[in-house]
Amino acid sequence: MADNHVYIITGKQGEGKTTLLREVVDRLQHTGVKTGGFIAEGTWKDGQRAGFSLVRISDGESFPLSTTSPKEGYFKLKRFWFNPETVRIGNEAILACLNDDTKVVVIDEIGIFELEEKIWYRPFINLLTETDKPFIITVRDKIKEEVLKKFGLNNYTFFSTGESPSYLADIIIRSI
């Protein structure tokens, strides 16, 4: 399906995928590489993931994405309640990369919901089929093979959370 080069940051839950991704995006932007999409910043409570905020890369604005506590107007998937307005904002942030001068698209993360064709599934498919821009995505170790198969990813490079952000940024810059 996809010929885009996909840089996949893998690791276990809470192992630092988003932290590494944020550092790579900062380095790319510092060198003048326009990035688009979003980062999902997690919150923890009592040693467990309590929710996420979506940080839109284009302007750094943060939006409440999900919580483990029921919230009016939110919809439930597994143990999380999602803000439909923020899901819309995330979808728009991904799709905006189709027609602008973004060089690298960032999606934090492609996971179980996308495997079930929910949350970021549709805009991710649109990007894979309508552009050849490279992507950086985060994926949990335990489902990375499922993600490769589901989305037909055949041009990819894995990076673990222990990698240097400079090393990863340099590889991406050389490829664009």
Q: Into which CATH architecture does domain 6-41+93-175 fall?
A: 3-Layer(aba) Sandwich (3.40)
* pLDDT score recorded for residue 176: 81
Q: Are 103 and 133 in contact, with CB atoms under 8 Å apart?
A: yes
* Domain parsing of the chain, residue ranges: 6-41+93-175
What is the side-by-side order of every strand in the sheet holding 6-11?
Answer: 75-77, 80-82, 62-67, 48-56, 35-45, 104-107, 135-140, 6-11, 156-160
Q: What is the pLDDT of residue 49?
A: 86
Weakly modelled stretches of the chain, pLDDT under 70: 1-2
Q: Give the pLDDT score at 25.
A: 96
Closest CA to 159 of 26, 25, 10, 5: 10
In a 3-state reduction of DSSP, which class is residue 118?
Answer: coil
Q: Which two tokens stand for residue 12?
A: 């276990």
